[in-house]
Structure 1
Amino acid sequence: MKFKLMKALMATTLLVSSLTGIGAVSAATETNTDQAQIRIHKRIFPAGETSTLTQNTGEIMNFGGKALNGAGFSIYDVTDEYYHKLGDKHSETEINTVISEIQDESISAAPDYATKIGNEITTAGEGVADFAKLPIHKGGQYAAYLVLETTTPVTPTITKKAVPMVVVMPVYKPGTTTINSQIHLYPKNETDEDQKVLTNQANFTEVDFNGTKYPNVSSGALLNYALTVNIPVNIAEANVQSFVIQDAPSNGLVLADLAAVKVGDLVQGTDYTIAATNNGFEITLKTDATNVKQLAGQKLLVTYPMQLTASVDPDQVIQNKATISVNNQPGTDLIVKTVTGGKKFKKIDAQTDKGLAGAQFVVKKGDQFAMFKQGQADTYLFDKWVSDEAQATKISSGNNGQLSVVGLANGNHSLIEVKAPNGYLLNENNRPTKDFTVVAGQYGTETISFENIRKGGFLPQTGSIGIYAFVVVGLMLMGGAYFWNRKVKR
């Protein structure tokens, strides 16, 4: 059975009396008291750490884990059913079989034959709950009690709660025939951490950013995230009123497609609702849905794509934060960090340094040309690389000569002028080019100037084609003057 396997994993060993103490009360083992106290020491462990079998002795123990407050426990009298099931069986194996049957029948809730004693008690202080004045005898027999965790805390997320425990009186002090009237039990819970990863991180090179390594992403690629959410084992209980998964990216990062968000095998509308919020999303599970209840204690995988926008700041780490909230109590933030790069340029007059609008450029890397998406304030967001320059995006300088490119990965690039501003020259055979290097975190540290020379009123450079034209014209004028002078003299 599934529960028997869980019992083995949870390993909360039961306290049972010795064989000679079962049945009618024996005067040889009687003490001056007919009552006992059970003290619960509630402990919580990371996932997988409760699999080691630990024997409860009834004494104070170093049981490991951490104290857990807020867990509610109830005690039930199961004496009659215990002896009914036991019949004339007396071997240790037979006794443990009866106890296992009672445990199995109590996995979801206390069975009908269990009579509740008093009220639920919630662990406090160091995870302690006390049940005092429990009769050791009932109707001339030793009493049998069922101890159940009847309320599981909302936080932290509990993925496995304590298994039912059966205590058959009397409990003896270890190695003696002295009845232990102060019984200590250590029920164990497990918790697990939610996780968030960039699933296609291998596609991006890690680069240094202020002494820390981050994936170096570009706006030309989707960033695929996976969020592993632990569903509480008590998701269907009344104290879990809401369960919300929220993703809130930093500025410059946005959900690529709301329809692309996958929430395990759950059905939108039936099992959850989803809405776009602040460039991310918010998922609200329907805790009363059958499919959601069946996820109790299991993991839910949420996957979704995101992409950079033109508002991204290459001088800042890009953060994608997810938060899981139960009953509006936020849990630990799950953050995945990436970085990108960019470059700033200014087109200026070579003589006056005045900013020039209307110049057009293409960006090249190796033998590839960049395509961009228009952003805001003369900022261009990288889209993809193409091999044909004719397909490349011509990016233009704004009114003050400024232009910026963002969303580029680290590396060497070139900015090539393909059209000069009105009234300025462009040498088509030797297009002006500026080489530049993109480094994440160095976007705002440098603005590269790109000069242009105004048409007219200029002297050609020595050795250029223009100088030869001037020489030819000068020689022609001189020759004409010489022949005219000779003609006049004649």
Structure 2
Amino acid sequence: MRRKNKLITTILAMVMVFPFFLGLGSAKDVMGTENPNQTVTLHKRKFATMPADKKNTGDLMDDFGGDPLAGAIFTAYDVTTAYWEAYDEATGTDAEKSGAATTAVLALKNTVTGGTVFAATDTDGIATKALPKKSGGRNAIYLFIETTSPAGVVQGASMPFVLGLPVYNEGTDIEKGTVHVYPKNEYRELALEFTKYGVDAEGDLEEGGLAGAKFILKGQNGSYYNTTTRAFDLTEAQALAQITQITSTAGGVVSLPNLVLNPGTYQFYEIDSAVSKAGLQAEDSMLYHYAAAKNPLVIAHVSRDMTITYDYYDITTTKQEKQTTASAYNYQVPTPKKDADDKDVDIDQEINFTISQKIPIDIKNYTTFALLDEFDSSLQLVNNTEASLLAEIKASMTSLADLVTGVSISDDSFRVTFNLAGLKEHAGETISFKVKMAVKPGAALATDIENKITFENDFAPKTDTDQVKTFGKSFLKIDGDTQAPLAGARFYVKKGDLYLGTKDGKQAWSAATGVTNGVPTFPVGFVVTVLESAANGQFSVAGLAQKEAGVNIDYSLKEFVAPDGYALLASEVHFTADNGTIRLNVANKHKGSLPSTGGSGIVAFVLIGVVAVGGAVLYFTKGRRQIEG
């Protein structure tokens, strides 16, 4: 009975203790469900200008200011050990020790690794994550660093901050359900901008900017700017289809305002600058060019602090770097000049053609530079071998002769080549030389005989021409009475006291050295030209200049043999050279026949009769005496 009661007592005791164990279990479970983490919510705010620091309360702060900023990514680094070591070593109040410890862990911002990464802030600027409250047995301390900044953020102003957990409600030991932190960013929308200028052939800036130059913009991510989406989301081919949308304005400004940019390099490539000033035609030589080899012409560098510097080529094509403003330049190709020293000439007369070419201000952009002279088939070079022509060109140059490397001659042209590397040291200077040419016999009268010079280059061939003319005169020898044509009249052509002729096979003028038997004599080697009227009475002279110093030259014909039966002209016939289509009549008078008056007549016959009669008288008288005697 006693044993039975003992068993019952034991069972009852166990029943009474069981709830206690259950309670312990329950207590243990309650302690086990205490959250070891605390939720941290970041509210990323952006400001045009960074405001003064404002202390976070850990609660929602609707009056914090700024606007939400999406796309920021923060990483929380556990710096608990470093913090508490610095705290424990510091002296002073808790606030002083906390300040020293905070300074110590902020110094670790460039060396920390690992960390807990928050999601990118959403459109409300919010990112949330739970973090452990304890680390190594002490309150956890975290260094928050913005490891990815969205475009437009002044990253230098995105300062790291330190957060210690757990955070309690003010004045209690009750932990906040969520800790709200408001990190700030300075945020800027930028404008990439520069001015496009036109440079004339003299190397001077045209007034105002240059409109119509077209660009594409390559972003730091390798894609191209889309003017529709305002993002860098195009391939190069797609961007080329939009080039008219990045175009210099009437003032030459190329501007993309209100851009939200990441730090990096942005490159402007010029695609088309075949532009001209309003109202002028292409033949007015107002077209401009750019140097594709220099692309990108303008490079913008956007720093982490959202400041912009530019690299570009200045007006002399020298690269400028890290400048706060930028310019770009399009250039005119300078036009060559061709000028004859006499445009109204005799055949075979030596004409000095002066050829001038300005070395472009942007000669560094050129890989081709030559001068091609093309002349009419009625013209010929005086120095017609390459060696003699090269010597003539160099001898006529007052400077830069050493830059002429050679000439080549073909049928009716020659090309002058230059040392391009040497030319690049003389940008803006002018090359000038002379070439002697002459009009060939048989050239058409009163007709422009052209000589063209072409500047061959990388961008646009430019040309200039000059013309010379020669003239002559046609004549008709006629009977002064009947107007019938007369053949056989012979003439000299004179200009004052000078006679037309040839010397060394070329047309020339010379004064007579004397007169022999009525015929003028001339220096040795000079052959006077003789014109003779044909059976139809026609004759002509060609290859004469018409004017001298703007005044008609007075030529004359001197007849020295008249047509048979006609009187020689006593006076010279004066004329002016023209196109040879209007004939000048030169009339002679027929000699006619004259009676034989004033001669011996019948006197001889009378004398003969007297002598005969006298003889008869004498005969008969004498004969009678003889008979009578």
Give the shorter-chain TM-score range. 0.5 to 0.7
Secondary structure in 2 aligned to 1:254?
strand
What residue number does 2:441 align with?
310
Secondary structure in 1 aligned to 2:582?
coil
What residue number does 2:593 align with?
459
Asked whether the equivalents of residues 194 and 228 of structure 1 are also in contact (C-alpha less than 8 Å), the reply is: yes
Residues 352-393 of structure 1 show CA distances to partners (whole Å, capped at 9, x for unaligned) of 734525x43212333333324799xxxxx8512324331261
Asked whether the equivalents of residues 202 and 428 of structure 2 are also in contact (C-alpha less than 8 Å), the reply is: no
Q: Given the superposition, is the C-alpha separation of residues 45 and 32 from structure 1 closer, same or farther in structure 2, using an over 3 Å criterion?
A: farther
Q: Given the superposition, is the C-alpha separation of residues 341 and 483 from structure 1 closer, same or farther in structure 2, using an over 3 Å criterion?
A: same
What residue number does 1:164 align with?
319
Task: Specify which of 497, 502, 519 is matched with residue 367 of structure 1.
Answer: 497
d(CA) in 2 for partners of 1:65 and 1:142? Answer: 25
Q: Given the superposition, is the C-alpha separation of residues 31 and 444 from structure 1 closer, same or farther in structure 2, using an over 3 Å criterion?
A: farther
Query: Equivalences for 1:183-262 in 2 at 5 Å?
Result: 185=327, 187=329, 189=331, 192-198=334-340, 200=341, 216-219=344-347, 221-233=349-361, 235=363, 237=365, 240=367, 242-250=368-376, 252-258=378-384, 259-260=388-389, 261-262=392-393
What residue number does 1:145 align with?
310
Q: Given the superposition, is the C-alpha separation of residues 299 and 352 from structure 1 closer, same or farther in structure 2, using an over 3 Å criterion?
A: closer
Asked whether the equivalents of residues 146 and 167 of structure 1 are also in contact (C-alpha less than 8 Å), the reply is: yes
Amino acid at match of 2:490: Q
Amino acid at match of 1:272: G
d(CA) in 1 for partners of 2:583 and 2:451? Answer: 27
In the alignment, structure 1 residue 385 sits paired with structure 2 residue 510? yes
d(CA) in 2 for partners of 1:390 and 1:187? Answer: 69
What residue number does 2:417 align with?
285
Amino acid at match of 2:544: G
Secondary structure in 2 aligned to 1:262?
helix
Asked whether the equivalents of residues 245 and 283 of structure 1 are also in contact (C-alpha less than 8 Å), the reply is: yes
What residue number does 1:397 align with?
532
Asked whether the equivalents of residues 416 and 434 of structure 1 are also in contact (C-alpha less than 8 Å), the reply is: yes
d(CA) in 2 for partners of 1:482 and 1:71? Answer: 124
Task: Specify which of 550, 558, 574 is matched with residue 436 of structure 1.
Answer: 574
Task: Specify which of 405, 422, 425 is matched with residue 271 of structure 1.
Answer: 405
d(CA) in 2 for partners of 1:398 and 1:327? Answer: 58
What residue number does 1:336 align with?
466
Q: Given the superposition, is the C-alpha separation of residues 326 and 485 from structure 1 closer, same or farther in structure 2, using an over 3 Å criterion?
A: same
d(CA) in 1 for partners of 2:493 and 2:531? Answer: 11
Two-structure CA RMSD over aligned residues (Å): 4.9
User: 1:68 Cα shift?
Assistant: 7.3
Asked whether the equivalents of residues 334 and 359 of structure 2 are also in contact (C-alpha less than 8 Å), the reply is: no
Residues 11-46 of structure 1 show CA distances to partners (whole Å, capped at 9, x for unaligned) of xxxxxxxxxxxx99569xx87445543355242335
User: 1:254 Cα shift?
Assistant: 2.8
d(CA) in 1 for partners of 2:580 and 2:194? Answer: 62
Amino acid at match of 2:466: V
Asked whether the equivalents of residues 333 and 462 of structure 2 are also in contact (C-alpha less than 8 Å), the reply is: no
Same amino acid, percent of matched pairs: 14
d(CA) in 1 for partners of 2:467 and 2:357? Answer: 19
Asked whether the equivalents of residues 34 and 136 of structure 1 are also in contact (C-alpha less than 8 Å), the reply is: no
User: 1:147 Cα shift?
Assistant: 2.0
The aligned length equals: 351
Residue ranges of structure 1 left out of the alignment (5+ in a row): 1-22, 52-62, 77-114, 150-159, 172-183, 202-214, 376-380, 461-466
What residue number does 2:198 align with?
43
User: 1:275 Cα shift?
Assistant: 0.7
Amino acid at match of 1:144: T
Q: Given the superposition, is the C-alpha separation of residues 296 and 315 from structure 1 closer, same or farther in structure 2, using an over 3 Å criterion?
A: same
Asked whether the equivalents of residues 360 and 419 of structure 1 are also in contact (C-alpha less than 8 Å), the reply is: yes
The two structures have a TM-score, normalised by structure 1, of: 0.56
d(CA) in 2 for partners of 1:64 and 1:318? Answer: 41
Q: Given the superposition, is the C-alpha separation of residues 272 and 74 from structure 1 closer, same or farther in structure 2, using an over 3 Å criterion?
A: farther
Asked whether the equivalents of residues 345 and 543 of structure 2 are also in contact (C-alpha less than 8 Å), the reply is: no
Q: Given the superposition, is the C-alpha separation of residues 254 and 407 from structure 1 closer, same or farther in structure 2, using an over 3 Å criterion?
A: farther
Asked whether the equivalents of residues 341 and 406 of structure 1 are also in contact (C-alpha less than 8 Å), the reply is: yes
Q: Given the superposition, is the C-alpha separation of residues 328 and 255 from structure 1 closer, same or farther in structure 2, using an over 3 Å criterion?
A: farther
d(CA) in 2 for partners of 1:72 and 1:255? Answer: 50
Asked whether the equivalents of residues 271 and 286 of structure 1 are also in contact (C-alpha less than 8 Å), the reply is: yes
User: 1:300 Cα shift?
Assistant: 1.5
d(CA) in 2 for partners of 1:324 and 1:132? Answer: 29
Q: Given the superposition, is the C-alpha separation of residues 382 and 267 from structure 1 closer, same or farther in structure 2, using an over 3 Å criterion?
A: same
Amino acid at match of 1:64: G
Amino acid at match of 1:47: E
Residues 313-371 of structure 1 show CA distances to partners (whole Å, capped at 9, x for unaligned) of 44234443322232595313x233444442222345666734525x4321233333332
Amino acid at match of 2:531: S
Asked whether the equivalents of residues 371 and 386 of structure 1 are also in contact (C-alpha less than 8 Å), the reply is: no
d(CA) in 2 for partners of 1:217 and 1:488? Answer: 82
Kindly indicate whether structure 1 or structure 2 has the higher relative contact order, using CA contacts under 8 Å at least 6 residues apart. 1
d(CA) in 2 for partners of 1:488 and 1:276? Answer: 98
Residue ranges of structure 2 left out of the alignment (5+ in a row): 1-153, 159-184, 221-263, 276-287, 514-519, 547-551, 617-629
d(CA) in 2 for partners of 1:68 and 1:163? Answer: 23
What residue number does 1:417 align with?
559
d(CA) in 2 for partners of 1:329 and 1:187? Answer: 17
Task: Specify which of 208, 229, 234 is matched with residue 64 of structure 1.
Answer: 208
d(CA) in 2 for partners of 1:311 and 1:75? Answer: 68
d(CA) in 1 for partners of 2:369 and 2:339? Answer: 21
d(CA) in 2 for partners of 1:354 and 1:193? Answer: 54
Residues 272-331 of structure 1 show CA distances to partners (whole Å, capped at 9, x for unaligned) of 3321432xx3214256x5444544543221211122332234423444332223259531
